[in-house]
Amino acid sequence: MNTYSRILFVCAGNTCRGPMAATIMQQFVQDMGILTDSRGMVVLFPEPYNPKAVAVCAGHGMIMPSNSAAQLENTDFDNNTLVLVMNQSMKQKIYESYDRAINVYTLGEFAGAGETEIADPYGRGIDEYNQCFEQLYVLIEKAAEIIRKNMEEEKDDSNRQ
């Protein structure tokens, strides 16, 4: 398993699930020197993050950066970047649309939760945003454990050499 210096979360418009996921993951990997960020599959203009997503993160003691939506680009892919998406169709679309796509997994797949899909709460109430946050949190906690374990194993391997 590869170790990564950057984790990129990709959702539809980069205003809700991706930014929430990047904010959550940052809590788990900030001591590992890993950067977290998010991108969207279709971003027509740089709109601000969804206020409900920002409020839900704040309600859990996490401050979402005040960035605006950004489009996924071919330059976002490299050997040191882990790309986590919300569902299988996004993963497939990325591999079809980006010739440099590499290290792309669904969040559920990477976290060992199989075909778990993260529903988009866009246009719904605050309860749906909270449910989305909770689902992301559980999967990201598992994914962060895997990343930490891989980094420790790689460090152990290099110490043995």
The whole-number average pLDDT for the span 27-42 is 96
Within a domain: 51: yes
CATH, residue 57? 3.40.50.2300
The beta-strand segments (E) located in 4-109 are 6-11, 35-40, 81-85, 104-106
Q: Do the domain assignments include residue 63?
A: yes
Q: Which two tokens stand for residue 32?
A: 């590992």
Residue 30 predicted with pLDDT over 60: yes
Catalytic residues: 11, 17, 120
Q: What is the pLDDT averaged over residues 135-143?
A: 98
Q: Is residue 134 part of a domain?
A: yes
Q: Is residue 120 included in any domain, yes or no?
A: yes
Other Cβ atoms less than 10 A from the Cβ of 32: the count is: 14
Distance between CA atoms of 4 and 20, rounded to whole angstroms?
Answer: 20
More confident residue, 151 or 121: 121
Domain assignment of residue 72, given as a range: 6-160
Tally of domains in the chain: 1
Q: Does residue 47 lie in a domain region? A: yes
Question: What's residue 154's pLDDT?
Answer: 81
| Cβ proximity of 38 and 14 under 8 Å | yes
What pLDDT digit, counting tens, does each position of 64-111 carry?
988 899 999 999 999 999 999 999 999 999 999 999 999 999 999 999
Average pLDDT over the chain reads 94
Provide the pLDDT for residue 83. 98
pTM: 0.95
Per the domain annotation, does 76 fall within a domain? yes
| pLDDT at position 157 over 80 | no
Pairing of strands 35-40, 81-85: unpaired
Residue 1 within any structural domain of the chain: no
Q: Tell me, what DSSP letter sits at residue 30?
A: G
Q: Is residue 59 part of a domain?
A: yes
Q: What pLDDT does residue 1 have?
A: 56
